[in-house]
Amino acid sequence: MDLREHILKTASALFYAQGVRAVGVDLVIREAGVAKTSLYRYFPTKDDLIVEFLKREDMEFWSEWASVARRHENDPMGELESHMRWIGERLARENYRGCPQINVAAEFADPQHPARGVARAHMQALRKVMDALAQRMAVEQPQQLGGQLALLVNGAFVSSGLLRPEEATDVLLASARALCGAAYRSASTPQ
């Protein structure tokens, strides 16, 4: 592992476990076992390190999403259910502390903070893929269903403490099916 990746991996683990505001650069340096100059060579500011942490998390999330989507190119409901399963498994992890993008966005009030920009882009991308998935389902109001599904996923990420680990997947699946069922019924009801 190269030094930049080592520093980023260390910082990412600390940021996720403790929150970005609670973790200072000195702690990252100490835990990574590197010199301060090494950290600043790759990450000139703590904000740069936070942004790279979020980008890394974003890439991992979308990589998993794409892997699931490829397996269900002609089955949008099957794709949605598969996404709910892996997200449910994610929520059930022992060390799960929520969506990193949502967590970091909540730590910074300034909408212009660079971390908020990464978080905002992540949320917009989620809405876009949910809208596209709903469009493939051929419901009457795909953007409404897409918004509901995006809200379901984000709500699950921030509300994981409300669910017992063994029920997270079942609750997500039942909720997604209920939303889709209502959208299909609406499309088939005469106006």
CATH number at residue 1: 1.10.10.60
One domain for residues 106 and 169: yes
One domain for residues 132 and 61: yes
**Local confidence band at 26 (pLDDT 50, 70, 90 cut-offs):** very high
Q: Which of 3, 30, 2 is nearest to 14 (CA)?
A: 30
One domain for residues 71 and 157: yes
One domain for residues 68 and 13: no
> Per-residue DSSP letters for 62-92?
HHHHHHHHHTTTT-HHHHHHHHHHHHHHHHT
One domain for residues 87 and 170: yes
Count of domains forming the chain: 2
Helix orientation angle between 142-158 and 76-91, rounded to the nearest 10 degrees: 10
Tens digits of per-residue pLDDT, 31-43? 999 999 999 999 9
Long-range contacts of 77-84 (CB under 8 A, 24+ apart): 77/137, 77/180, 79/133, 80/133, 80/149, 80/176, 80/180, 81/173, 81/176, 81/177, 83/153, 84/169, 84/172, 84/173, 84/176
Mean pLDDT of the chain: 93
Q: Please give the residue range of the domain that contains residue 128.
A: 48-188
Residue 134 has pLDDT above 60, yes or no: yes
One domain for residues 18 and 97: no
Find out whether 79 and 40 touch, Cβ atoms under 8 Å.
no
The pTM for the full model equals 0.89
One domain for residues 39 and 62: no
Please list, in sequence order, all residues whose beta carbon lies within 8 angstroms of the beta carbon of residue 186, skipping any fewer than 6 positions away.
139, 140, 141
One domain for residues 56 and 34: no
One domain for residues 14 and 104: no
Task: Give the H or E element holding residue 160.
Answer: none
One domain for residues 104 and 172: yes
One domain for residues 40 and 55: no
Residue 130 has pLDDT above 60, yes or no: yes
Domain of 138, CATH number, reads 1.10.357.10
One domain for residues 7 and 71: no
